[in-house]
Each structure stands twice: as C-alpha cells, then as structure tokens.
Amino acid sequence: MSAAPQAPAPGPLLKVENLEAGYGAINVLHRLSLYVDPGEIVTIIGANGAGKSTTLNTVCGVVKTRAGRIHFDGRLLTGTPAHDVVRLGLAQSPEGRKIFPRLTVRENLEMGAFTRRDPEGVREDIQKSYQMFPILEKRQAQPGGLLSGGEQQMLAIARALMSRPKLLLLDEPSLGLAPQIVVQIFDIIKELNQKQGMSVLLVEQNARMALKVAHRGYVLETGRITVTDNAAALLHDPRIREAYLGE
C-alpha cells in the first residue's frame, strides 16, 4: 500500500519579491526580497538611510510599489491601499511612535480598532492592553502627548495590536528610549511571539537586541539585502559584529 500523500507545508505569511520603491526620482529599494513565516520574528538591520523604514512603509501600502510583488496571507497585496492592508491583518507601530497627542490613551487604543465592528471585543482588547502595559491603564484618561517616550512606545504597540493583526510591523521600537525601557519593550515583543504566536517583522538599529529576540535576520545596505541568516549566526558573524554591534 502506498503511503498517503503529505499535506503541503504552509507558505510564508509575508513574501516580498524583487521589491522596488522610493520617493520622487529616487529609488530606495532595489529588487528586495524577504519572507516571514507564521510565528516568526524576523528582523531587518542596517545603517541609517539603508531603506528599512521604506521597506515597512511599502509593505503597508504607505509608499507605492514601483516593481515587484508583495504577498500576504496567501493573497497579492501589491497596490492595496494602506487602510485596506490593516483590514487584511497587517498593522504597524511606526518609527517615532506617531500616537495621537491630543487624544487620551484610551481614545488612541480605540483608534487602533477603527476597522472593527465588535464593540465588546474592542473593550476586551483594551483591557488586555492594560494587562500587558499596566502603566497605560493608570494613564488612560491622559492625553497621549503627555506620556513619556517609553509610555508612548507602549501605546503605539498596543494601538497596533488593537486591530488583531496576523503580522505586526515594528519600526525602531527602541529609538530614543532609556536602556531599562528598551529591555522592557523587547521582553514584550518576545512575549507576544512566544505566548500569542504573533508574527513580527522588526526594524531596529539596536542590532544586538534585535538579533537576540529574532529567529532570522536580513542585513539591508543601500536598499539591497546583502546578508541573510538565522539570527544566532548573524549575532556571531564577525562582519556583522564589526559593522553593526560596535565590536
């Protein structure tokens, strides 16, 4: 008796192929390809101006794709407007946090759920945000602009999670934060992945911290992927240690 055929392995949650994008006459990304499997933390590291934020913004539909394809959760995402990208299950916590400074913490969280039509579920998820970030519950009636930098970063992540994404994009979550807050933020990223199975695409200049939490990594230089490997190998690669870890 012949063996039963095996089910095909699930494909990547996010697959970017030969992506080109930029601003005006300038092309920032050059035939960039990467993927994120379900349940993975994947990081993109690189110097300032390498195109890291442009990559995330193009995936999100904020920057227009000039060439290449983006597939997310089995469907072609290329050309999809940013507000529809959120509805499909992809959310971003942007560089600089970009919370709504005049809205209260709770109103910021409610804005993160703008695509949803389940008020009770939204209320439950706000409570989950408070459990994950207790300081936000204490500050829930305060305007977001009065929070510290670390508190604003927690709010930005919690707001992104309010859409119940399948993939969370994090752009420089440690930027401008005190070291102890950076450790707290990265502990939260690990918890989201390990306890909730959240897939994460992480852009981060703190390459050491990023590679310690990630499963795989890509090195981006002037819009091109130059190195890719599992995170542990990149963390111990002499070239990466010299260029990005200050060793």
One-letter amino acid of 92? Q
Residue 112, CB half-sphere, CA atoms under 13 Å: how many?
32
The pLDDT score that the predictor gives to residue 24 is 93
Whether the full predicted model's pTM is greater than 0.85, yes or no, is yes
Tokens 């999809």 appear where?
A: 80
Per-domain residue ranges for the chain?
Answer: 14-99+166-244
According to DSSP, the β-strands at 41-45 and 216-221 are: parallel
Beta bridge partners of 10: none
Beta bridge partners of 27: 22
Please tell me the distance from the alpha carbon of residue 203 to that of residue 218, in angstroms, as a whole number: 10
One-letter amino acid of 79? G
Percent of the chain whose pLDDT exceeds 90: 89
User: Is the model's pLDDT at 43 over the cut of 50?
Assistant: yes
Candidates 3.30.360.10, 3.40.50.300, 1.10.10.10, 3.40.250.10; CATH matching 14-99+166-244: 3.40.50.300
pLDDT tens digits, residue range 188-240? 999 999 999 999 999 998 999 999 999 999 999 999 999 999 999 999 999 99
pLDDT tens digits, residue range 131-158? 999 999 999 999 999 999 999 999 999 9
Alpha helices in the chain (DSSP H): 52-59, 82-87, 105-112, 119-132, 134-138, 149-161, 179-196, 207-213, 231-235, 238-244
70 in Cβ contact with 77 (< 8 Å): yes
Band of residue 247 on the pLDDT scale cut at 50, 70, 90 = low
Rounded to 5°, the CA angle 186-191-192 comes to 100
Band of residue 8 on the pLDDT scale cut at 50, 70, 90 = very low
DSSP structural state of residue 192:
H
Rounded to 5°, the CA angle 58-22-77 comes to 25
Torsion on CA atoms 75, 78, 80, 82, rounded to nearest 10: 110
One-letter amino acid of 97? R
111 in Cβ contact with 117 (< 8 Å): no
Which residues, 6+ apart, have CB-to-CB distance to 199 below 8 Å? 13, 14, 36, 37, 38, 39, 40, 41, 166, 167, 168, 193
